[in-house]
Amino acid sequence: MEPFILVLLTIIFSACLLLLFSGRRPANLPPGPPPLPLIGNILQVGPNPHQSFAQFAKTYGPIIYLKFGTIDTVVVSSPATAKQVLQKHDHVLSSRPHPAMSDSYAHNQISLIWQPTNSRWRTLRRICKDHMFTLHRLDSGRDLRREKLHKLRDFLDHQCLAGGGAAVNVADATFTTVLNMLSSTLFSIDFADYRSEVSEDFKGLVHGLMEVVGQPNVADYFPVLKAVDPQGLKRKTTTYVRKLFGVFEDIIEKRVKSRSDDHGGAGAGAGDLLESLLEVSRKSDSDKEFTREDILHLLMDLFVAGIDTTSTIIEWTMAELIRNPDVMTTARHELDTVIGPNKEVEESDISKLPYLQAIIKESFRLHPPGPLLVPHQAAADVDVDGYVIPTKAQVLVNIWAMGRDPGIWVDPDHFNPERFLGSKIDVKGQDFELLPFGSGRRICPGLPLAHRVAHMMVTLMIRGYDWKLPEGIEPQELNMDEKFEFSLQRATPLEAIPVKI
DSSP per residue over 225-289, as a string?
A: GTTT-TT-HHHHHHHHHHHHHHHHHHHHHHHHHHHHHTTTS--TTTTSHHHHHHHHHHH-SSTTT
| Bridge-based pairing state of the strands 387-389 and 382-384 | antiparallel
The CA-atom distances, in angstroms, between 438 and each of 230, 433, 484 are 32, 11, 18
Residue 270: predicted pLDDT? 60
Over residues 418-427, the pLDDT tens digits come to 999 999 999 9
May I ask the CATH architecture of the domain 2-500?
Answer: Orthogonal Bundle (1.10)
Please state the φ and ψ torsions of residue 43, each to the nearest 5 degrees: -75, -10
Specify whether the CB–CB gap between 207 and 483 falls below 8 A: no
Over residues 94-109, the pLDDT tens digits come to 999 988 888 899 998 9
Residue 214: predicted pLDDT? 79
For the segment 319-339, the average pLDDT, to the nearest whole number, is 97
Over residues 240-289, the pLDDT tens digits come to 999 999 999 999 999 888 877 765 555 555 678 888 888 888 877 665 67
Q: What is the DSSP letter of 400?
A: H
Nearest one of 173, 179, 180, 176 to 159, comparing CA atoms: 173
Give the CB-side neighbour count of residue 325, counting CA atoms within 13 A. Answer: 9
Q: How far apart, in whole angstroms, are the C-alpha atoms of residue 491 and residue 132?
A: 33
Over residues 459-480, the pLDDT tens digits come to 999 999 999 998 878 999 999 9
Give residue 121's identity as a one-letter amino acid code: W
Domains of the chain: which residue ranges?
A: 2-500
List strand residue ranges (DSSP E) for 56-136, in order.
63-68, 71-76
Average pLDDT, the chain: 89
Over residues 278-309, the pLDDT tens digits come to 888 887 766 567 888 999 999 999 888 888 89
Beta-carbon count within 10 A of 310 CB: 26
Sign of CA dihedral 100, 105, 109, 114: negative
405 CB-near residues (< 8 Å, 6+ apart): 77, 78, 412
Whether 2 shows a pLDDT value over 70: the answer reads no
Q: What is the DSSP letter of 84?
A: I
Beta-carbon count within 10 A of 47 CB: 11
Whether 20 shows a pLDDT value over 60: the answer reads no
Beta-carbon count within 10 A of 479 CB: 11
Q: How far apart, in whole angstroms, are the C-alpha atoms of residue 318 and residue 415?
A: 12
Residue 8: predicted pLDDT? 53
Specify whether the CB–CB gap between 206 and 172 falls below 8 A: no
Residue 3: predicted pLDDT? 46
Nearest one of 374, 372, 371, 384 to 92, comparing CA atoms: 384
